[in-house]
Amino acid sequence: MHDDRSLVEARLKRVLEERVRPAVYPESVPLEVAVWHAPGEPVPVEEGIAAEPEPITVGARWGGPWGTSWFRVTGTVPEAWAGRTVEALLDLGFDENMPGFQCEGLVYRPDGTPVKGLNPRNQWVRIGAPVEGGEEVRLHVEAASNPVILDYHPFLPTRLGDKDTAGSEPQYTLTRMDLAVFDETVWQLVIDLEVLGELMAELPVDSARRWEILRAVERALDAVDLQDVNGTADEARSRLRGVLSEQAAPSAHRVSAVGHAHIDSAWLWPLRETVRKVARTASNMTALLDDEPEFVFAMSQAQQWAWVKEHRPEVWARVKKAVADGRFVPTGGMWVESDTNMPGSEAMARQFVHGKRFFLDEFGIENEEAWLPDTFGFAAGLPQIIKAAGSKWLLTQKISWSQTNKFPHHTFRWEGIDGTRIFTHFPPVDTYNCSMKGSEIAHAARNFKDKGVARHSLAPTGWGDGGGGTTREMVAKASCLRDLEGSATVAWETPREFFEKAEAEYPEPPVWVGELYLELHRATLTSQAKTKQGNRRSEHLLREAELWAATAAVRTGFPYPYEELDRIWKTVLLHQFHDILPGSSIAWVHREARATYERLAAELNTIITAAQHALAGEGSTPVLFNSAPHIRHGIPAGGAGTPTTEGETIRTVRPDGGHILDNGLLRVEIDARGLVVSAHDIEADRETIAPGRAANLLQLHPDFPNMWDAWDVDEFYRNSVTDLTDADEVVAGEDAGSVRIVRTFGASRVTQVLSLPPGERRLLLETEVDWHETEKFLKLAFPLDVHAERYASETQFGHFHRPTHTNTSWEAAKFEACNHRFVHLEEPGWGVALVNDSTYGHDVTRTVRTDGDRGTTTTVRVSLLRAPRFPDPETDQGAHRFRHALVPGAGIGDAVREGWRINLPERRVDGAGEVAPLVTVDQEAVVVTAVKLADDGSGDVVVRFHEAHGGRARATLTAGFAVADVTVTDLLERPLPRTPAPRVDGERVAVRLRPFELMTLRLRRA
C-alpha cells in the first residue's frame, strides 16, 4: 500500500479547521448590546445590573486597563429554531491562546443569579435545549478588562501592572454577540476527530493501530459533504465508532483526571480580581457538573473558598450543594498554595491549621493531601508539618520545570529533616493545565518514571493560572479516552481516590531525602525585599502578640484577641502565596502588600503593648520583655524584668585610618575601606576572616536572566562582578562600639553601621540601601577561614545541610538557596554563624588558597536586592534596611539563639517589676515557637516546640499556672491518637524529642 499518511493527516487538519468546526454553529442572529462602564473599582452586582447602559456595536473598543464594564445583551430566539439547541456566543475580544490572562466575564440573569463565566475557551451560554422559539433573551455580563501583562513577547517591562500607571486606553474589541444554533452532532464529530487525530500522531508510524485510525478518519472525511456538514456529520461519526470502541490494553497507563483550575491568588492581577476569577470559575464548574455526571472538580486554597462565601453568596450556594454531592471537592487543606521555602515554622503550620479548619467547619471534610502544583520548590521541614496537620500525601508538578537535572521519580516517599515520610506524586503529564490533548496523555504514559511497579498518575485538568477550569470539550475527550486502544485510560477521580489507589499499588516506593529544590526561579528568594521584610516582621509580631496576650490573659484576665489574631494570621498567610511572597507579582500587588503589612504591624503592636502594660502593672521601673525562646540579658524566655549590664566595647583607630572594636570577646578590625579584615575570637584565639580577604564586601552583578525576570537568576550572572570597595565615609559611630560607613555607586547609596555590642560575641551590621539600579544583583560577602564540606541553613522547625562543593550537577544547580534566620558553618569545635532579620537568598562557595597556609576559604554571600523590570518595572526601587550579624565561635545552638535574637528585639515598658514566663523549658535545644490560647476559646494554653540542634533531647516544660491535664495534639489542637501522654508532675511536663521533632502540647488550666 502506498504511504499516503501525510496526505490524510493534512486533509484532516484543513477539513476540521475550515469546515467542521465552523459548522458547530450553523445559524446565528445578532444580539442587541449596551454597555455601562463602572467608574473606579468593581461595583456590587445589583448596581451593575441596574445601571443604565448605552448602545455599543460589535467591533467597538471597550475597557480601559483594570476596568469593569457591564454589558446588557438582549434578543429573541427565532421561531424557526423551535426544537433546536440554542446558545449565546459572547466574545468580548478573546484571544483563545490566553485563557486566564486577559478579559473575562461573569454572566447573570436579570435577577442577579450567576449563570457561568466567560473566558477565551468558554464563550457560550446555553439558552435552551430545545427551545420553543420566540423566547426573549436578556443577560448581563460583568466584564473585566484586565490587561495582558505576559504577552507573546514575554517579560517586556510594562506600566499596565498597576492601575495608577496603566492609563485608560481601551484594551479589547467586542468581537461577537450572537444567538446561534448549536449542532451537538457536529460538535461531537469535532471531538471524535480531535481525539483520534491527536492519538494517531502519538502512535509509532509502523503501528497497526495508527493505520487503522488513519483509514477510519479517511472514511469519515469521505462521508462529510463540505457543503452540508450538518447533514452528513452523523454518518461521518458512524464511520469512527469502530476505532473509538476498541478497548485499551490491560497494561495501559491509568490517568486519574481531576477537574482543576489553578488560580493564582495574585500574580498578573491584584487580589481583588482573584476574588472575581474564583467566582467565575466556580460558576462555570458548578454548571459543568450539572451537565456532566462523571465529572469531578477539585479546588484548593481555603482563602478562595472564603472569598466566594463572602462576596458571591449565590455562587456559594451552588458550590455547597456540589460539595454535598461529593463532586466539587475541597483539596489541599492549606489557606493558600503558599511558597514553602520562606514561610517560618509557625506560619507554615498555620497554613494547614487555617486551611484544614475552614474545610472542616464548612463541610466536615478532612483533607489528607497537600496540593501545591505550582510552588517553587519545597523546604526539607515540610513533611513533618504535613503529618502534624493530620495529612499524609503531597502533590506538586513544578519540579518538572527544573533546568538541569531530571527528578528520578514520579511517585515516591519524601523524607524530611526529622525522618517523617510523606507519600508524594509528581504528575508525569508535566502540567497543571492539562486539556486532555492526546499529546499530553501520551506524554504522561511515556514519561512516568515508575513503570513496571506502578501505573497510576494524576492529571490536573482545566485552564489555570488565571482560572477558567475544565471545559466541556475536555470532559468529552476524557470520555473518549476512558478505554481506548493505543492510549492511557482516563477516569475522573477525586485526589483522595487517586492517592488511595496509587499508595495501594505502590506501598514501598523509593525515598527522596531532603529538600525538593527547584532548579529554576531562584531569584524569588530576593525579589521585592519589602514584601519579604513585611512577611518576616509579621511572623514575629504574631509570635509576640500571641505570647504576651496569652500570658496576660492567664495572669490578669486580659481579653485574648481571638478574632483579631485569626484575621491577621489569615492575611499574613494570604500574602505567602507563591507569587506574592516570592516577589513575582505585578506592582499593584506589592504596593498593596506593603500597605497591608504596615497596617498589620500597627494592629499587632497595639495588642502587644496593651498586653505588656497589663503584665507590667503600674510603676516607673524600666521592664525589659524578652519574646525570644532563650534567656537574654538575664531575662528568661517569655518573661520580663530588669536587664543585667555586661562590660563595654572599646573603639580605637587603625594606622590606615580604619577602626578596631574590642569587647573582650571579639576584636574586629575595619579598614579604611569600611571592610572587615579581621574578626578575632579572643577566647578561642581563632580568626574568622580568611587571610588576605575582607568581609562586609558589597558586590554588584549584572542580572538579566534569559527569561522570567523577577523569578530567575541565571548562573552566568557570576561571570561579572564589581566589588564595591570605595567608601565616601568610614567614621566613628554614635556610640563607642560602632563605625559608620557610606558608599555610593551608580545611582545608589549605602549607609552601614557596624557595631560590637558589649558582652556579646557578634558583629552587628545594619545596612541602609537607597537603591536605584536596574537589572543588577547586590550581594554582601563574608569570606570565612573555615574548612567545611557542608553548611546548615535554617528551615521550618530545624535546619538543613547543603554541600559547599559542586561534585555533581545536583549540587552545582543549588547556586542560590534559601535560609531563614541563619546559616552556619563549622569545623569540629568551632564555627561561624551569619544571621539576618529579613533576607532569604544566599550562596556558599569554597576555594583552597594556593599560597600561604593553603587553607580553605568558605564564602557566604547574602542576597540583598535585585532590580528586575518584569512584571514590576520599579521592583525594589527606593530605601531598604537590613540587619545581619556575624557570630564567630558559634555552635549550632548559638546560630539558633542569635537568629531569634536579631528578629525579636527587646521591648521596654515602664511598670512595677518582673513578669514570670507563662511556660519555661529547661533545655536550650528545645525551642518554643508558639505560646497561645487554644483556638476553640476554651482558655487552654497551647505550647508548640521542637528540637532545634539536630540531636535527641530530654526537657522539662514548666507551666507558670495550675495545670489540670496535658494532651499531645496535632497542629489543629486535637488529641493525637496512639500517642502516649507525657509524664506530668504538677506543673512540670517531661518530654523526649527526636532530632528536629515537633510537638504541640495542650495544657488545660485547673
The C-alpha cell that represents 505 in the structure block:
499499588
Give strand ranges (E) for 499-543: 511-513
Phi, psi of 473 (to 5 degrees): -65, -40
In angstroms, the CA 163 to CA 591 distance is: 11
Name the nearest CA neighbour of 140 among 69, 208, 79: 69
Q: Are 354 and 302 in contact (CB under 8 A)?
A: yes
Q: How far apart are CA 569 and CA 765, in angstroms?
A: 30
Long-range contacts formed by 825-830: CB under 8 A, 24+ apart: 825/784, 825/786, 825/788, 825/791, 825/792, 825/858, 825/860, 826/786, 826/788, 826/890, 826/891, 826/892, 827/786, 827/787, 827/788, 830/681, 830/684, 830/686, 830/889
Instruction: Pick left, alpha or beta for residue 995 (phi over 0 → left; psi -120 to 50 → alpha; otherwise beta).
Output: beta
Name the helix (H) or strand (E) containing 670. strand 666-670
- CA dist 463 → 122, 264, 327, 335 (Å): 10, 12, 18, 21
* Helix, strand, or coil (residue 48): helix
Strands (E), 389-494: 393-395, 411-415, 421-425, 456-461, 489-492
Coil, helix or strand for 171?
A: coil
Please tell me what DSSP assigns to residue 715: G
From 374, 785, 894, 940, the catalytic residue: 374
Edge-to-edge strand ranges of the sheet holding 953-959: 919-921, 953-959, 988-993, 983-985
Name the region of 135 (left: φ>0; alpha: ψ -120 to 50; beta: rest). beta
Rg of the chain taking only CA atoms, in angstroms? 31
Q: Indicate the SS3 state at residue 761.
A: coil
3-state helix, strand, coil split of the chain in percent (to 5) is 30, 30, 40
Positions of E strands within 785-938: 790-795, 798-803, 817-818, 822-827, 830-836, 841-848, 856-866, 878-888, 907-911, 919-921, 926-933
Measured CA to CA, the distance from residue 131 to residue 86 in angstroms comes to: 7
**What does the block give as the cell for 643?**
536587664
Q: Which residues, listed in sequence order, are joined to residue 1005 by a DSSP beta bridge?
A: 963
Is 228 one of the catalytic residues?
no
- CB neighbours of 131 closer than 8 A, spacing ≥ 6? 77, 81, 82, 83, 84, 85, 86
Region of 212 (left: φ > 0; alpha: ψ -120 to 50; beta: rest) is alpha
C-alpha cell at 883: 540587619
Integer CA distances (angstroms), 278 to 128, 172, 307, 308, 358, in order: 26, 22, 8, 7, 17
Query: Pairing state of beta strands 738-745 and 998-1005?
Result: unpaired
Q: Which amino acid is at 328?
A: F
CA 1001/CA 957 separation, integer angstroms: 10
Name every residue whose Cβ is closer than 8 Å to that of residue 124 and which is 6 or more positions away in sequence.
87, 88, 89, 90, 182
**Burial class of 82 by CB neighbour count within 10 A (0 to 12, 13 to 18, 19+):** middle
Instruction: Give the residue numbers annotated as catalytic, written as ranges.
Output: 374
